[in-house]
Amino acid sequence: MRRSRVEVVAWNPRRFRPAPVGVLLRHRGRVGNFGDLLGRAVVRRLVEREGLPADARTSRRLVSVGSILRLARDGDTVWGTGANGKSTSEPYPFSRLDVRAVRGPLTRDLLASKGIDAPAVYGDPGLLVGMLWPELAALRDPDAPPLVVPNFHELRERPLRPGELDPRTPVEVCLRRIAASSLVVGSSLHGLVVAEALGIPARRVRYHVEPSFKYDDYYRGTGRDTHTSAGTVAEALEMGGEVPPRWDPAPLVAAFPRDLWKTPLADC
């Protein structure tokens, strides 16, 4: 089987501009949602932190941050991935996976329903941002204004509003903007995850396009059986942050698939 550098799977499809009948669709570029690209950045930092060979090669793929379980293929390694509530009833294109950790117990139950064992190791790897980006702590300002981070789908329906962070902004910029805020509210799951990873209060705002599954999965995976979402940004700001995570990062870090980085490029 062909061996290549370790592929960290990420959802980042192309979007197209509408065009007149008979004219080919024109590329608009990729979605660039920071929550879907965060996994590659987290893995890269963890590989560097542990001194693993960045040029290692393997025939296997790693499926990590995001609600991208449905993108997994037979033989893939799963570390912290979650399922998307929009597709839980659809067929999944795999029958065997190497599961090291999942985002939460709802994803674990879904895998079990498909005959796939998964350990009870929970946590979105985005929760490791505070550990892997220690420099962000210096940006913390309890007197800063709150930050609204909408789900990127919202911005297909309306323009960006003052005080909002466009989640299609580059990952490092998003991390700094979140780190410099006093409260994060919105429908972007990874806006909430990164905020809580940095010790910043966060509150979910419901959005009609996004089922509750991935949020429930995340909160349950961090020791919170329930959470209270807000119907509007104003309501979320009034409510303040959700109960903080009751979660130990050590099992998720220990479950990181270091074995995928054991074969140096020069030996292949």
Q: What is the pLDDT of residues 61-84, one digit of tens each?
A: 999 999 999 999 999 999 999 999
Looking at the structure, do residues 81 and 120 belong to the same domain, yes or no?
yes
Q: Is the pLDDT of residue 100 over 60?
A: yes
Looking at the structure, do residues 226 and 258 belong to the same domain, yes or no?
no
Higher pLDDT, 252 or 92: 252
Instruction: Place 180 in a pLDDT band, splitting at 50, 70 and 90.
Output: very high
Closest CA to 140 of 171, 194, 179: 179
Looking at the structure, do residues 260 and 217 belong to the same domain, yes or no?
no
Q: What is the average pLDDT across 93-113?
A: 97
Question: How far, in Å, are 17, 30, 123, 232 from residue 24 at the CA level?
Answer: 10, 17, 43, 39
Looking at the structure, do residues 45 and 96 belong to the same domain, yes or no?
yes
Q: Give a yes or no: residue 244 inside a domain.
A: no
Q: Is the pLDDT of residue 158 over 50?
A: yes
Q: Give a yes or no: residue 56 inside a domain.
A: yes
Q: Is the pLDDT of residue 24 over 80?
A: no
Measure the CA–CA gap between 204 and 227, rounded to whole angstroms.
9
Looking at the structure, do residues 115 and 17 belong to the same domain, yes or no?
yes
Beta-carbon neighbour count of residue 142 at 10 Å? Answer: 8
Instruction: Place 2 in a pLDDT band, splitting at 50, 70 and 90.
Output: low
pLDDT at 91: 86
Q: Is the pLDDT of residue 267 over 50?
A: no
Looking at the structure, do residues 258 and 166 belong to the same domain, yes or no?
no
Q: Give a yes or no: residue 255 inside a domain.
A: yes
Q: Is the pLDDT of residue 15 over 80?
A: no
3 state SS of 56: coil
CB 31 within 8 A of CB 152: yes
Instruction: Place 130 in a pLDDT band, splitting at 50, 70 and 90.
Output: very high
Q: Give a yes or no: residue 174 inside a domain.
A: yes
Out of 17-31, 45-59, 200-214, 221-235, pick the least confident.
17-31
Token pair, residue 245, equals 């995570």
Looking at the structure, do residues 66 and 149 belong to the same domain, yes or no?
no
Q: Give a yes or no: residue 199 inside a domain.
A: yes
Looking at the structure, do residues 71 and 117 belong to the same domain, yes or no?
yes
Task: Tally the C-alpha atoms within 13 A of residue 252's C-alpha that lie toward its C-beta.
Answer: 25
Q: Is the pLDDT of residue 194 over 90?
A: yes
Looking at the structure, do residues 231 and 155 belong to the same domain, yes or no?
yes
Residue 97: exposure state from Cβ atoms within 10 A (0-12, 13-18, ≥19): buried
Range of the domain at 42: 4-125+250-267
Looking at the structure, do residues 34 and 76 belong to the same domain, yes or no?
yes
Measure the CA–CA gap between 116 and 97, rounded to whole angstroms.
7
Q: Give a yes or no: residue 73 inside a domain.
A: yes
pLDDT at 90: 85
Structural domains counted in the chain: 2
Residue 37: exposure state from Cβ atoms within 10 A (0-12, 13-18, ≥19): buried
Measure the CA–CA gap between 252 and 254, rounded to whole angstroms.
5
Looking at the structure, do residues 119 and 166 belong to the same domain, yes or no?
no
Measure the CA–CA gap between 116 and 94, rounded to whole angstroms.
10
Out of 23-27, 102-106, 207-211, pick the least confident.
23-27
Q: Give a yes or no: residue 245 inside a domain.
A: no
Average predicted confidence (pLDDT) for the chain: 90
- pLDDT above 90 as % of the chain: 75
Q: What share of the chain is helix, strand, coil (3-state, %, to 5)?
A: 35, 15, 50
Residue 267 backbone class (left: φ over 0; alpha: ψ -120 to 50; beta: rest): alpha
Looking at the structure, do residues 96 and 116 belong to the same domain, yes or no?
yes
Measure the CA–CA gap between 148 and 167, rounded to whole angstroms.
10
CB 142 within 8 A of CB 182: yes
Token pair, residue 156, equals 């297909």
- pLDDT above 70 as % of the chain: 91
